[in-house]
Chain A
Amino acid sequence: MNIVGGLRGIGKRVVNAVWRTGYGARFFVMTLRYSGMSFRRFRLTVREIFFSGVLSLIIILVAGMFVGMVLGLQGYETLKRYGSESALGSLVALSLVRELGPVLAALLFASRAGSAMTAEIGLMKATEQIDAMELMAVNPIARVVAPRFWAGVISMPLLAALFSAMGVFGGYVVGVVNIGVDEGSFWSQMQASVDFQHDILNGVIKSLVFGLAVTAIALFEGYDAPPTAEGVSGATTRTVVESSLAILMLDFILTAFMFQGA
Chain B
Amino acid sequence: MERTTLDLWVGVFVVAGIAALVVLALKVGNLSTYNVSESYQLQAHFTNVGGLKPTASVRSAGVLVGRVVSIVLDTSNYDAKVTMSIDKRYQFPKDTFANILTSGLLGEQYIGLIPGGDDKMLQSGDEFKKTQSAVVLEDLIGKFLYNSSDAKK
Contacts and interface: CB of A to CB of B under 8 A. Distances in A.
Interface in B9-30: 9-10, 12-14, 16-18, 20-21, 23-25, 27-30
Nearest to B16: A162
Interface in B75-103: none
Interface stretch (B31-39, B41-49, B114-122): B31-39
B7 A46 contact: yes
A88 to B, nearest CB: 13
A43 B27 CA distance: 34
A84 B30 contact: no
Contacts of A157: 17, 21
B17 A46 contact: no
Nearest to A156: B17
Given A82-B106, A157-B17, A196-B34, A168 B10 contact: no
A97 B23 CA distance: 12
B23 A165 contact: yes
A162 B17 contact: yes
Give the interface centre of B25, B28, B29 by most chain A CB atoms within 10 Å.
Answer: B28
Interface stretch (A50-58, A107-115, A123-131): A50-58
Contact of B6 (A47, A166, A262): A47
B104 interface: yes
Contacts of A187: 27
A54 B1 CA distance: 22
A225 interface: no
Contact of A194 (B16, B30, B57): B30
B70 interface: no
Contact of A158 (B14, B23, B25, B28): B14
B123 interface: no
Nearest to A93: B28
A116 interface: no
B17 A84 contact: no
A193 B12 CA distance: 31
B70 to A, nearest CB: 12
B104 A54 contact: no
Interface stretch (A22-30, A197-205, A228-236, A245-253): A197-205
Contacts of A93: 28
Contact of B24 (A49, A50, A54, A97): A97
Interface string A146-170: 0000000001011101101110100
Contacts of A204: 21
B55 interface: yes
A191 interface: yes
A190 B28 contact: yes
Contacts of A165: 20, 23-24, 28
Given A190-B28, A199-B29, 19 more contacts: A46-B6, A54-B10, A82-B106, A84-B106, A93-B28, A155-B13, A157-B21, A158-B18, A161-B18, A162-B16, A164-B24, A168-B27, A191-B30, A192-B30, A192-B108, A195-B30, A196-B34, A198-B55, A204-B21
Interface of A: 43, 46-47, 49-50, 53-54, 57, 82, 84, 93, 97, 155, 157-159, 161-162, 164-166, 168, 187, 190-196, 198-200, 204, 262
12 contacts: A47-B6, A50-B13, A158-B17, A159-B17, A162-B20, A164-B20, A165-B24, A165-B28, A192-B57, A196-B29, A196-B31, A199-B29
